[in-house]
A and B are shown apart, each in its own frame.
Chain A
Amino acid sequence: MLQPEGKRPYTVDVETAPNMAKLPPAPSREAGGSLHRFANPGRFLRLTDNWLPWLSGAALLVLGIGAVWGLAVAPPDWQQGETVRIMFVHVPMAWLAMGGYMGLAILSVMSLIWRHPLADLTARELSPIGAAVTALCLLTGSLWGRPMWGTWWVWDARLTSVLVLFFLWLGHAALVRAFDDAERGARMGAILALVGVVNVPIVKFSVDWWNTLHQPASVTRINAPGMHVDILYPLLVCALGFTLAFAAIVLAATRAAVMERRVRALQMAAARRADAAEA
């Protein structure tokens, strides 16, 4: 029994708890392996403690520049007018939805092959954020499609495959939380994430393989970008800003998850000690 009746729950201050880095590893973790050098949660917390303020500051700065450049300085499009500015949110969200999913796939490979516990935690924190980004991509696309195409939504290959990507993010977020055994949930989530990787090239190339209402890619086409530099440069700045913000949010969420785990481990250790003292 961890918390005998009549006793207050054990509380631990994460930041001031002694011997942070020397805590015993979780019992399920495998020993050895060179990659586990980077899996030390104490080292992760120390490193990211230094990075996070810089990352957040850079994200805010770049997003501020991107917002002013995109909303005030950049010219309207000759045929779409001012609605083209939706692109400065829509396109970075689409890139992050796909790029973030590739990140989830890499974390899943690390989780399945090396049983990397930090990869499990990061994947678990990544998927709700990825789902939010994909939802924003779909919403801004819908808001853009209504005035330009004349419809909120069509079931063409691009839009449908992005909707599938959204459900994959949601499914991963739900699946890793659906098991009492966190490690089992992480493994199931990793398998789902890797199966879903087939959707990423479909999203990317749907506009080239099949005819769609959605236009083909502007920035990554083979000859020069089909976008004037006055519109292209603020788009790239916004993409960089949103990417930095995405990384900062994922990092902060993962740090919180590591600390949460640590609190639980310390509480368990304290409870075990108390039980042993009573016996």
Chain B
Amino acid sequence: MTRKRRRIWILVLCAIGLGSATALTLTAFQDNLVFFRSPTDVLTTEIPPGRAFRLGGLVEEGSVQRQGEYEGRPAIRFRVTDGANAIPVVFTGVLPDLFREGQGVVTQGVMGQDGTFRAREVLARHDETYMPPEVADALKRAGHWNPAQGAAPPPAQWNTLEPGRADAPRRTGS
């Protein structure tokens, strides 16, 4: 019995030690574990010029311009915002299908001297809401939601957990 008890205590002590070591390590590396920086991060911290990093946020409504060239290639210009600040971005590659105004994006590139971010790559980032097209249309028609302005309304408004009432916003809207 005592041997068994001892083995239990050794395991518990090891678990506490390992858990706190991991927590401390992760806290220490906090800054290196972020995948992208928000526009506010970029404007408030010093980043060495020419250093590549990832800028993430929402594509600002009404900021997408598909005219113009950059370094001799057709370019797309838009602004990435986190609500508080926005940074202009120029990109000459192929955009992912989900790219639109109001959508989350993560862009990788370098900051130019003029304050425009030169992106080498643009990835789309979608949120954790999933809904059928009819529900999304109903929400838009009812004026509950404009996808160009950001995330969908709280699920409690449209997700009643009862399939029969799934089109509730449509009835209230019309």
Contact = CB atoms under 8 A, between A and B. Distances in A.
Given A195-B18, A198-B18, 13 more contacts: A151-B123, A155-B35, A209-B33, A210-B35, A211-B36, A211-B56, A215-B125, A216-B127, A218-B128, A223-B154, A223-B156, A224-B161, A231-B131
Contacts of B56: 211
Interface of B: 4, 7-8, 11, 14-15, 18-19, 22, 26, 30, 33-36, 38, 56, 95-98, 106, 121-137, 147, 152, 154-156, 158-163, 166
Contact of B97 (A33, A87, A147, A233): A147
B166 A227 contact: no
Interface in A142-160: 147-151, 154-157
A237 to B, nearest CB: 14
B11 A109 contact: yes
Given A75-B133, A148-B97, A198-B22, A223 B155 contact: yes
A19 B90 CA distance: 78
A77 B132 contact: yes
Contacts of B126: 79-80, 148-149, 215
A4 B95 CA distance: 72
The interface residues of chain A, by DSSP majority, are classed as loop
A78 B19 contact: no
A225 interface: yes
A194 B14 CA distance: 10
Interface residues of A, number: 47
A42 interface: no
B33 A157 contact: yes
Interface of A: 33, 75-80, 84, 87, 109, 112-114, 147-151, 154-157, 194-195, 197-198, 202, 209-213, 215-218, 221, 223-231, 233
A184 to B, nearest CB: 16
A81 to B, nearest CB: 9
A229 B130 contact: no
Contacts of B36: 211, 213
A194 B133 contact: no
Given A226-B128, A231-B130, A114 B4 contact: yes
Given A79-B126, A224-B159, A194 B11 contact: yes
B7 A112 contact: yes
Question: 9 closest A-B pairs (Cβ-Cβ)?
Answer: A150-B96, A75-B132, A78-B136, A156-B35, A226-B129, A228-B131, A224-B155, A218-B128, A78-B133
Contacts of B98: 79-80, 148-150
A229 B162 contact: yes
Contacts, number: 143
Contacts of B156: 223-224
A221 B155 CA distance: 11
Nearest to B133: A78
Contact of A84 (B96, B127, B130): B130
A123 B21 CA distance: 26
Nearest to A159: B35
A215 B56 CA distance: 13
Contacts of B135: 78, 228
A229 B163 contact: yes
Contacts of A76: 132-133
Please indicate which of the listed interface residues B30, B97, B137 has the most CB atoms of chain A within 10 Å of its own CB.
Answer: B97
Contact of B132 (A151, A217, A228): A228
Contacts of B38: 211
A157 B147 CA distance: 27
A108 to B, nearest CB: 9
B159 A229 contact: yes
Nearest to B108: A154
8 contacts: A75-B133, A150-B98, A150-B124, A211-B36, A211-B38, A211-B56, A216-B128, A228-B158
